[in-house]
Each structure stands twice: as C-alpha cells, then as structure tokens.
C-alpha cells in the first residue's frame, strides 16, 4: 500500500496537445479515488502516468514518498486492470491469475496458495480449471482483477474496467470492486466516465475537464456543493436543470416564477465580489415533485404550474419533462459553461427543457398542466460569466 502524489504535473504531446495541465493531487494510502470526467478530459492519461506508460512533461509523481518519474513501469509495483480483460484464451483461470507470478522469485507452493486465495475472495475457486471462453463477462473481469491481486501491488489502477459489461453486470461488479478494495485496503485509482459508478464506488472523486481537476471531494459533498456549473451538470442523474435567474431586490425571477431569495443564496451573493443582477439557477430534478404528494406544512417549497410534455415512468418514480422560455443568448452561454457535462447514458435536454423527478403515486398526465413543488432551500446559483457556484455553505 502507498500514497500517490501528483505535484504540478503536466502532459504535453509532440503536436502541442495538453492532455493534463498542472495537476496536483494527493491520494492517501489505502483510499479508492475515482478520476471521473467526459471522454478526452485526461483521466486515463493520469492513470497511465502512474503506471509509467506515459512520460511526464512537467512536475513530479511520487508513490510512497518516492519520485518515480524515471522509474520503469515494471519497477513501480502497481497493477493495472483494463476495460478489455486481456486474458490468455488457451490458459485456465488458475494459469491466468498466476501468470504474473511466473516472473517473480516465488516458490510453486506459495504461488498456488496466492492464486487460490485470490480465487476464493473473488468467488472463482470453483472455476479455476475452466477456460475464459466458458466464463461470463463478470467472471472474466474478476479473473483480470485476480491476476492483479496476486502481485500484492502498492496500488491498483483500473481503467474503465466495467465498460464492456451489460447494465446488470456493471451494478454487480461495482459491489464486488468496492468490497474487494475494503477487504484488501490497497490504494486504488479508478477511471470512469460514468458518474453513477463514481458516486457509488469512490471514497473521493476528482472531477476532470480539459486536463484540469475541477473539484476533489467526497461524492455526496460534490453532489451537494459543486464548485462550478460544469461539476453540477456532470454529477447527478438526471442532470441538473439550468435556468436564467434575474435578481430583483429580494426576488429571484425565474422562467418558472418569482421566488423569494432563500437565505442560502443570499449568503452566497454577499460573498460575491462582482455583484450582478443576472445569474444561472441550478435545480436538481429530485428537488421537484408533484405538489399533491408534498405536505402543505412544508414551508420551504414554491409551487409552479407546468404543462407536462413527456413522462417517463420508472416504477418507484416518474421523470416529467416540461418546457420554459429561455432567451437564445442565455441558452448559448449556459451551453458553453456546461460543455462536456453530459454523463454516460444521460439524456440530453433540449434548450428550455426541464426535468422533474416525481414520487410514486403521482397522477400527472402528459399534455396537461400539473402543479409541481420546488424545494427552494436546495437551489444553486452560478455566476453567468465564470460558472462558479455562489451558494453559501
């Protein structure tokens, strides 16, 4: 086990492309950290720099307090698991898991014990004599993890290991990986563009865009207090709704109605040096509901009328889509600030389209006007020029 530290690291390719720009990040010993962001944001490049598969242009990379910029990949004592299993089809599970031990000074009995112990932990003990072709996708991925485990590395590096699995297997394997990391207590760096994986797996997230880390923190903290509009749009499913907001005294004028300025937003505005009267308001779908399902005693809410365009029943909840009028120039600005924030499998909202997550028992209908309830205490406010979040904590 070991801590991993990025000290002002940059990666620039020969054509001048900056894949990673001045990144500093501390990954504590024994932590599972998720590097998450849209394709091309630099997360896999960071992983490959840890593994020694990419040279570092600037800065220092440390593992266990030792600078490893010029240390060969094989001497770094890290194990990497890729999205493709890379198993030898002619070998059994036992032989695939134990392959890396052939090149270490380990006696046969010790190697056999290590392979069988890894197989027990991963639920593969009864499959040790089977070939990869006889295994499911999830089992093959566990074999790949077992091959990494037996090396007893200082750190596990996982590059989108579940992307080739179907939805059900991805859920199962997320649980397996989380359980495995807790049991082994080994530092793990996990790359994904799926924010659901990121939220459910990691001790901490590092949200990336264009080679820069936008925010680092615990999953729930980032969800509740995103540092900017990009992070807010990337973390959360369905994605956050963004609407223009005009400040008029103590009123926040939104396309859905005028809302008395909540204390939380007032606090954020007090600390904002460049006071303006135009902002972007962020509303999470789960902070809206069918007004009929909300207690009248809840004083934090604002009621609005919306003509429902599309309903997506999901069993325990229903997603309701409706439209509001937004000026074209404001739409263009919001799209520029949130560029790349659409997450894996996430539906793209059309300009002016809003989505609300309604609870079980809702009776709203498509094409009809419904009264919805909005929890104003959970609104987010962003600077329309920089995209930075202005809310008080």
How many angstroms separate the CA atoms of 207 and 370, rounded?
Answer: 36
Query: What separation in angstroms does the CA of 173 have from each of 136, 139, 204, 219?
Result: 12, 9, 19, 19
Centroid of chain to Cα 139: 24
Pair (12, 160) in one structural domain = yes
Instruction: Please provide the average confidence, as pLDDT, over all residues in the chain.
Output: 90
CATH classification at residue 88: 3.40.50.300
The answer to whether position 393 is within a domain reads no
The answer to whether position 389 is within a domain reads no
Pair (190, 248) in one structural domain = no
Say whether pLDDT at 297 is over 60. no
Q: In terms of residue numbers, what domain contains 99? A: 4-230
The answer to whether position 391 is within a domain reads no
The answer to whether position 241 is within a domain reads yes
CATH classification at residue 297: 2.40.50.140
The answer to whether position 248 is within a domain reads yes
- Could you tell me the pLDDT band of residue 296, with boundaries at 50, 70 and 90? low
Say whether pLDDT at 41 is over 70. yes
Burial track 65-94 (b if 16+ CB lie within 10 A, e otherwise): eeebeeeeeeebebbbbebebebeeeebbb
- Could you tell me the pLDDT band of residue 70, with boundaries at 50, 70 and 90? very high
Please tell me the total count of domains within the chain: 2
Q: How much is the pLDDT for 299?
A: 59
The answer to whether position 388 is within a domain reads no
Residue 146, classed as helix, strand or coil, is helix
Domain boundary among 215, 230, 245: 230
Which residues sit opposite 36 in a β-bridge?
192, 207
Q: Which of 128, 182, 380, 133 is nearest to 264 (CA)?
A: 380
How many angstroms separate the CA atoms of 364 and 144, rounded?
Answer: 48
Q: What does the chain come to in residues?
A: 393
**Contact call for residues 143 and 85 (beta carbons, < 8 A):** yes
The answer to whether position 16 is within a domain reads yes
**Contact call for residues 333 and 386 (beta carbons, < 8 A):** no
């Amino acid at each position: 086990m070991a801590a991993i530290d990025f000290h002002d690291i940059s990666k620039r390719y020969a054509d001048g492309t900056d894949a990673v720009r001045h990144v500093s990040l501390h990954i504590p010993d024994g932590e599972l950290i998720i590097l998450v962001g849209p394709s091309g944001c630099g997360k896999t490049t960071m992983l490959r720099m840890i593994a020694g598969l990419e040279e570092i242009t600037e800065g220092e990379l440390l593992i266990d307090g030792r600078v490893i910029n010029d240390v060969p990949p094989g001497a770094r004592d890290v194990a990497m698991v890729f999205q493709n299993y890379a198993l030898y089809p002619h070998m059994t599970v036992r032989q695939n898991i134990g392959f890396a031990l052939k090149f270490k000074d380990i006696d046969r009995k010790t190697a056999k014990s290590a392979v069988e112990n890894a197989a027990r932990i991963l639920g593969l003990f009864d499959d040790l004599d089977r070939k990869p072709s006889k295994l499911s996708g999830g089992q093959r991925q566990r074999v790949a993890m077992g091959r990494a485990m037996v090396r007893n590395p200082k750190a596990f590096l996982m590059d989108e290991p579940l992307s080739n699995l179907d939805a059900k297997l991805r859920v199962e394997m997320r649980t397996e990986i989380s359980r495995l990391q807790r049991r082994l207590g080994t530092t793990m760096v996990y790359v994904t563009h799926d924010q659901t994986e990121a939220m459910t797996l990691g001790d901490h997230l590092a949200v990336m865009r264009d080679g820069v880390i936008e925010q680092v923190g615990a999953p729930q903290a980032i969800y509740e207090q995103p540092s900017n509009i990009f992070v807010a749009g990337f973390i959360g499913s369905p994605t956050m709704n963004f609407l223009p907001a005009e400040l008029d005294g103590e009123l926040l004028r939104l396309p859905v109605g005028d809302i008395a300025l909540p204390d939380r937003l007032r606090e954020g505005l007090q600390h904002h040096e460049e006071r303006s009267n135009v902002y972007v308001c962020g509303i999470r779908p789960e902070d809206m509901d069918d007004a009929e399902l909300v207690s009248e005693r809840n004083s934090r809410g604002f009621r609005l009328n919306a003509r429902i365009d599309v309903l997506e029943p999901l069993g325990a909840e229903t997603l309701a889509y409706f439209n509001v009028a937004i000026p074209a120039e404001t739409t263009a600005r919001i799209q520029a600030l949130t560029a790349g924030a659409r997450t894996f499998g996430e539906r793209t909202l059309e300009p002016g389209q809003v989505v609300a997550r309604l609870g079980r028992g809702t009776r709203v209908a498509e094409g009809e006007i419904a009264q919805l309830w909005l929890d104003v205490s959970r609104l987010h406010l962003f600077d329309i020029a920089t995209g930075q979040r202005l809310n008080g904590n």
